């Protein structure tokens, strides 16, 4: 709030006098005291009090008066007399307000006074417009009470009115400011907000014209923001004016970063080059101040013009400062909203549109193509071996490569086309308005592939990157965006299968495969709903005790037409579609239930292990799901083991270890599956709260003939022993393998040597043996 507003405060019907009022009252009291002393001496006689009272009333700047029952003035102080155009009190006595002012102005006031006389009820603190304007709109706060004789009969009214114009103006300014802040909060367009701001200032300062200019994106020019009161020809003439040390008030203020108040445009050196431009419009003074951001950067200028030479008053300076501050808030708010909107619809790394913006625009592109009969080409693009670049040169170089590729693609397309970064190293290219010729489409896209493959330098190394691209055309390869994208994706994977670095156009064979994939997805979804899955169990044997002590649960799909299907035939699709989460939940719950059922049947208690997918492990409530499965089945946690792969853990080591500790606190055992095939480090391994390492079958199958496999297997067993972990070898099929593993200190084995995976009933028979 500017200092100007601090001078006013509302307290009931009382107004704290302004500094001008205070000084006026002090001067009046001094004159009154001097006059009383001159006429009556230091101690006036009681008989002269009537004169003294009249003198006091005449020195008060408020209106004080009394009227009879007909509204005729009986008495009035000098302020009332003078403002109604008279010299002496006797000139106004006997007159009514109808004699002094137009009837349409005084009608309401007369009705109010008549109500006071008839009801005897006083009115206090009534706000009304003054009949005498003195060149501007004035407001009064009026109180009126019945005038009674000695017998108590009402014989008229007594009124007191105080000028509250300054307070009303300040209140209007406060209301206007609140309204402007509401407009900012409501994200009102800047042009509308600027007009409201300027009109508020112009209403407060009659004869003054406001203007807002905005700094151009290159920060070298000023562009028209709003100037509802300025001549449109003048606004057009100064639109785009450069900023500089001698460019009128606004251009100089933006250049200096400080207020520039010019008293006379026609004579001031700052306006020397623009005086003739302004002369036809009659503007003589211009007071400009920079609009700044919160950080102090210049965003534009706010200026006030006057048709008379002069400098701004203190109040006008404060209003200019307040207006510039509000304009700065509005501009920054809009810039923040635009940044947020851009970030929501664009990729932060490359600046390309993201999938959200693509989804918003692709439907319109297809609609236009439908109306024009032209083609829309959509290509799904994936950079080849991008991970290798990331791993060898680092993520910083990988990010720079993505930016370079994005810029090269943008250089090959029109503004009506679209390049979208989907994520990672995947992009979508949307080409609009193409002729219905496949050769033209392929040629355009091959140009893009060639631009991507041009040599570039990253981190001091010159290299080339290729891409695999799958292409579809609307309407031949799909009618809606999702269908086109799915088919383009299929074509891209065909390009990768064909050796990468090529372009594949979607065809009937791909359509058949895509249809088959869609059908398998639907079948898999229905299998989850119908419960078509079963668990088989492969026993694990301890080499020292020569007995089965545990089993790994292995998922099978009892397909209605294809029969029993192994995980390799459907797990990849389940992971791709997200169905692995409900399927994994079923496996966990079923394994716990079955193990508890065996225990309840009197079989020796064993540990059942369950494989965990990366998608499952990343679920936020994964630990609580495990706890729920144990609680629902009644199985003790020590009889459940969860198998995690190295790659799963190493995706986010910190988060994985935290989750593993939570599982450990439940009492669940943890094992690392397929150990030796992933890329876990020894420094990370020692932090894992795991009980067992599982040696992958790839190291076991050629034992004892392969000396390298023997060495690796022996090293894993030794490592596990040093880390106080148990070790189990999977894929064991021969006695020779068993002998080597036993002699190397391996604890347990799993494989066809012990038993193939079998159903729950068959496993009972194995335990019974």
Q: Which of 447, 442, 383 is nearest to 411 (CA)?
A: 447
Tell me which range, 95-99, 404-408, 560-564, is most confidently predicted by mean pLDDT. Answer: 404-408
What are the phi and psi torsion angles at 280 (to 5°)?
-65, -20
Per-residue pLDDT band at 678 (split at 50, 70, 90): low
How big is the CA angle at 486 (ends 612 and 467), to the nearest 5 degrees? Answer: 90
Is 227:212 a contact under the CB 8 Å cutoff?
A: yes
pLDDT at 593 over 90: yes
- Identify the weakest region by mean pLDDT among 10-19, 182-191, 410-419, 672-681: 10-19
Has residue 221 got a pLDDT over 90?
yes
Share above pLDDT 70 across residues of the chain, in percent, rounded to a whole number:
92
Name 464's Cβ contacts closer than 8 Å, sequence gap at least 6.
453, 454, 455, 456
pLDDT level of residue 135 (50, 70, 90 thresholds):
low
What confidence category does residue 214 fall into, taking pLDDT thresholds of 50, 70 and 90? very high
Reported as a pLDDT band with limits 50, 70 and 90, residue 376 is very high
Spatial CB neighbours of 670, under 8 Å, sequence gap ≥ 6: 641, 642, 644, 660, 663, 664, 688, 689, 690, 691, 692
Determine the pLDDT at residue 298.
95
447-491 pLDDT, tens digit per residue, is 999 999 999 988 788 888 999 999 999 998 888 998 899 899 989
Mean pLDDT of 385-392: 85
| pLDDT (tens digit per residue) in 20-38 | 444 544 454 444 445 444 5
560 sits in which H/E element = none
Banded pLDDT at 90 (limits 50, 70, 90): confident
Q: Is the pLDDT of residue 432 over 60?
A: yes
Q: What is the pLDDT of residue 669?
A: 92
Q: 45 pLDDT exceeds 60?
A: no
* Percent of the chain residues past pLDDT 90, beyond the cut: 42
Long-range contacts of 168-173 (CB under 8 A, 24+ apart): 168/127, 168/139, 169/204, 170/4, 170/5, 170/7, 170/8, 171/8, 171/10, 172/203, 172/204, 173/4, 173/5, 173/200, 173/204, 173/319
Residue 12: per-residue pLDDT: 32
Window from 352-366, 414-428, 532-546, 644-658 with minimum mean pLDDT: 644-658
pLDDT of residue 683: 57
What burial class does residue 711 get, using C-beta atoms within 10 Å of its C-beta: 0-12 exposed, 13-18 middle, 19+ buried?
Answer: exposed
* 245, pLDDT greater than 60: yes
DSSP string, 226-244: E-TTS-HHHHHHHTTEEP-
The secondary structure of residue 363, as a DSSP letter, is H
Q: Is 14 a residue whose pLDDT tops 90?
A: no
345 is written with which tokens? 């619809």
Is the pLDDT score of 125 beyond 80?
yes
pTM: 0.53
| Structure confidence at residue 43 (pLDDT) | 53
pLDDT number for residue 681: 53
DSSP output for 116-139: HHHH---EEEEEEE-S--TTS--E
* Predicted confidence (pLDDT) per residue in 612-668, tens digit: 888 888 888 889 999 999 999 999 999 999 988 877 777 777 788 888 888 888 999
Q: Which residues contact 336 (CB under 8 A, 6 or more apart)?
A: none
For the ranges 240-249, 270-279, 609-618, 641-650, the lowest mean pLDDT is seen at 641-650
How confident is the model over 315-351, as pLDDT tens digits? 899 899 999 999 999 999 999 998 888 898 999 999 9
| Calpha distance 147→74 (Å, rounded) | 11
> Which conformational region is residue 321 in: left (phi greater than 0), alpha (psi within -120 to 50 degrees), or beta?
alpha
How high is the mean pLDDT of the chain?
Answer: 86
Q: What pLDDT sits at residue 40?
A: 45
pLDDT at 679 over 80: no
Chain-centre distance of CA 187, in angstroms?
14
Query: Measured between alpha carbons, how far is 82 from 94 in angstroms, rounded to an integer?
Result: 16
């Amino acid at each position: 709030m500017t200092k100007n507003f601090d001078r006013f405060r509302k307290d009931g019907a009382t107004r704290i006098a302004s500094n001008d009022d205070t000084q006026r009252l002090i001067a009046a009291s001094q004159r009154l005291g001097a006059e009383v002393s001159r006429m009556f001496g230091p101690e006036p006689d009681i008989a002269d009090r009537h004169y003294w009272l009249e003198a006091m009333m005449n020195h008060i700047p408020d209106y004080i008066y009394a009227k009879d029952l007909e509204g005729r003035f009986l008495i009035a102080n000098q302020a009332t007399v003078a403002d109604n155009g008279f010299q002496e009190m006797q000139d106004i006595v006997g007159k009514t307000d109808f004699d002094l002012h137009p009837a349409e102005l005084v009608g309401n006031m007369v009705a109010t006074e008549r109500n006071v006389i008839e009801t005897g009820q006083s009115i206090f603190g009534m706000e009304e417009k003054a009949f005498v304007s003195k060149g501007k709109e004035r407001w009064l706060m009026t109180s009126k009470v019945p005038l009674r004789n000695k017998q108590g009969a009402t014989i008229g009214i007594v009124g007191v009115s105080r000028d509250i114009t300054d307070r009303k103006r300040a209140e209007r300014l406060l209301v206007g400011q609140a309204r402007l802040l509401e407009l900012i909060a409501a994200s009102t367009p800047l042009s509308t907000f600027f007009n409201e701001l300027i009109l508020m200032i112009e209403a407060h300062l009659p004869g003054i014209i406001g203007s807002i200019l905005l700094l151009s994106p290159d920060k070298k020019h000023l562009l028209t923001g709003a100037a509802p009161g300025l001549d449109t020809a003048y606004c057009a003439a100064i639109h785009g004016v450069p900023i500089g040390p001698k460019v009128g008030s606004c251009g100089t203020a933006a250049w200096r970063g400080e207020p520039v108040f010019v008293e006379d445009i026609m004579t001031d050196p700052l306006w020397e080059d623009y005086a003739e431009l302004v002369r036809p419009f009659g503007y003589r003074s211009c007071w400009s101040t920079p609009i700044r951001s919160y950080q102090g950067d210049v965003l534009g200028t706010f200026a006030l013009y006057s048709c008379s030479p002069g400098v701004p008053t203190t109040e006008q300076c404060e209003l200019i400062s307040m207006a510039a501050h509000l304009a700065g808030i509005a501009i920054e708010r809009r810039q923040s909203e635009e940044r947020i909107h851009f970030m929501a619809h664009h990729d932060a790394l490359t600046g390309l549109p993201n999938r959200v913006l693509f989804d918003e625009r692709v439907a319109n592109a297809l609609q236009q193509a439908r109306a024009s009969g032209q083609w829309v080409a959509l290509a799904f693009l994936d950079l080849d071996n991008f991970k290798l670049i990331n791993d060898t040169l680092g993520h910083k170089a990988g990010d720079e490569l993505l930016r370079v590729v994005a810029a090269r693609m943008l250089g090959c397309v029109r503004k009506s086309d679209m390049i979208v970064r989907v994520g990672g190293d995947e992009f979508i290219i949307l080409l609009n308005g193409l002729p219905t010729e496949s050769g033209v489409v392929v040629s355009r896209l091959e140009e893009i592939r060639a631009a991507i493959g041009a040599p570039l330098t990253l981190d001091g190394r010159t290299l080339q990157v290729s891409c695999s691209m799958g292409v579809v055309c609307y309407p031949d390869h799909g009618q809606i965006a999702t269908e086109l994208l799915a088919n383009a994706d299929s074509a891209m994977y065909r390009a990768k299968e064909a050796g990468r670095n090529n372009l594949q156009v979607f065809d009937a064979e791909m359509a058949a495969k895509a249809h088959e994939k869609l059908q398998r997805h639907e079948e898999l979804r229905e299998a989850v709903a119908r419960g078509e899955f079963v668990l088989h169990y492969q026993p694990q044997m301890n080499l020292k005790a020569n007995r089965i002590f545990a089993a790994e649960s292995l998922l099978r799909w009892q397909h209605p037409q294809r029969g029993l299907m192994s995980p390799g035939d459907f797990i990849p699709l389940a992971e791709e579609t997200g169905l692995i989460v409900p399927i994994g939940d079923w496996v966990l719950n079923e394994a716990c239930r079955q193990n508890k059922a065996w225990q309840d049947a009197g079989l020796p208690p064993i540990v059942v292990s369950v494989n965990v997918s990366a998608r499952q492990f990343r679920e936020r409530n994964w630990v609580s799901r495990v706890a729920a499965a144990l609680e629902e089945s009644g199985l003790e946690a020590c009889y459940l083991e969860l198998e995690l792969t190295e790659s799963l853990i190493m995706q986010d080591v910190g988060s994985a270890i935290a989750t593993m500790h939570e599982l450990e606190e439940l009492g669940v055992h943890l094992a690392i599956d397929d150990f030796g095939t992933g890329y876990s480090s020894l420094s990370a391994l020692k932090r894992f709260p795991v009980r067992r390492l599982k040696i992958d079958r790839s190291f076991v199958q050629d034992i004892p003939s392969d000396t390298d496999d023997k060495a690796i297997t022996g090293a894993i067993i030794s490592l596990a022993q040093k880390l106080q972990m148990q070790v189990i070898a999977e894929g064991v099929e021969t006695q020779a393998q068993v002998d080597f593993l036993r002699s190397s200190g391996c604890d347990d084995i799993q494989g066809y040597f012990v038993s193939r995976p079998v159903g729950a009933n068959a496993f009972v028979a194995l335990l019974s043996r």
